[in-house]
Structure 1
Amino acid sequence: MIRTEPLTAAAFAPFGDVLDASGTPDKIINQGLCGRFHDRARLEAVEGRLGLSIFRAEARSFPYRLEMLERHPNGSQAFIPMTEHPFLVIVAPDAGGVPGAPRAFLTAPRQGVNLHRGTWHGVLTPLHEPGLFAVVDRIGDSPNLQEHWLDQPVFIDQGPSA
């Protein structure tokens, strides 16, 4: 069993970017009425283009049963929640072409993630309905999905909140 950890930029850095409006804006724009948090994610697409889709996923609960991890070798994938609810983010380092030991992060309200190209990750895992997300990822005709089914499921339980 693994326990979730709060999603922080430092802890998540090997896997991707935390998307939030923390800290001081990089620039004030729009006649001084808008703070711009500039270039918060490394978005990538190979053999295609970046597009924005809307995903609606069914809510899950703890303990969560992890059976499969996937990765996208030709593009990053950003998940931006369209509600205030936290969600579960599961990632793993690459271990010779298969996922290594998974880590589980629990987002805070108003946090999203951008998974770097080739990062092993679990499926979109909202914890509350309606599970609505804006997703920025690669759109293209060439294959961009590798799945790895675990020999034994890994159970994830909620750790300390963010």
Structure 2
Amino acid sequence: MIVRAEPLTAAAFAPFGDVLEAAGPHDKLINEGLCGRWHDRAALDFGSGRAGISIFRAEPRALPYVCALLERHPEGSQAFLPLFEAPFLVIVAPDAGGAPGTPRAFLTAPGQGVNLHRGTWHGVLTPLSPPGLFAVVDRIGEGANLEEHRLDQPFTVEP
């Protein structure tokens, strides 16, 4: 199966999570008028535990990209905030009876991040250029919060 990567927009991504970006007019100016604030852009959702911030460094990949593994986090949302201004690939899929349904792929614009809704099937972190450095906000706590699903038939994401 071939999946065409589409541009990341808030409307297209809404079933899977939130798009995090400083786009459009800011909500307010702070710091003596020198800083725009785009306020409360992600719905963090944790079944138990607490929010934590981790730093991830992922190896850059290239398109076309073969996806063979999807995962989800049933106990919490997961936000990916790139610490560099370059696009990265976001693969998501709806749930289909406890397994991933038909996948979709999104290419972020430089400076965009995403917050995946709790329980959303998604691909692994896939930067397309170095350094692949991200701040990740997700659930820290006891108990299992990772389900992996290896695909019987991998699919290819093309630009």
Which TM class, normalised by the smaller chain length?
A: over 0.9
State the Cα deviation string for residues 95-141 of structure 1 (Å, max 9, x = none): 11111000000000000000010000000000011100000000112
1:57-109, Cα deviation, whole Å (9 max, x unpaired): 00111111110110000000000000111000000011111110000000000
1:29 maps to what in 2?
30
- 1:152: how far off? 0.5
Deviation at residue 151 of structure 1 after TM alignment: 0.9
2:112 pairs with 1:111: yes
For residues 59 and 37 of structure 1, what CA distance do their matches in structure 2 show? 29
- Are the counterparts in 2 of residues 47 and 142 from structure 1 also a CA contact under 8 Å? no
Per the alignment, residue 50 of structure 2 pairs with: 49
1:56 Cα deviation from its structure 2 partner: 0.3
The count of aligned residue pairs is 158
- 1:48-87 alignment to 2 at 5 Å? 48-87=49-88
User: Considering only aligned residues, what root-mean-square deviation do their CA atoms show, in Å?
Assistant: 0.7
Q: Equivalents in 2 of 1:47, 1:136: separation in Å?
A: 15
Report SS of the residue matched to 1:17.
strand
Match of 1:125 in 2: 126
Moved runs in structure 1, 4+ residues, more than 4 A?
Answer: none
Instruction: Give me the whole-angstrom Cα distance separating, in 1, the residues matched to 2:60 and 2:52.
Output: 24
Q: 1:44: how far off?
A: 1.5
Gaps of 5+ in 2: none
| Corresponding letter in the other structure for 1:75 | G
1-structure distance, mates of 2:38, 2:53: 19
**TM-score, normalization: structure 2?**
0.97
Q: Structure 1 length normalisation: TM-score?
A: 0.96
- Following TM superposition, by how much is the alpha carbon of 1:27 offset from its aligned partner in structure 2, in angstroms? 1.3
Q: Kindly, what percent of the aligned residue pairs are identical?
A: 72
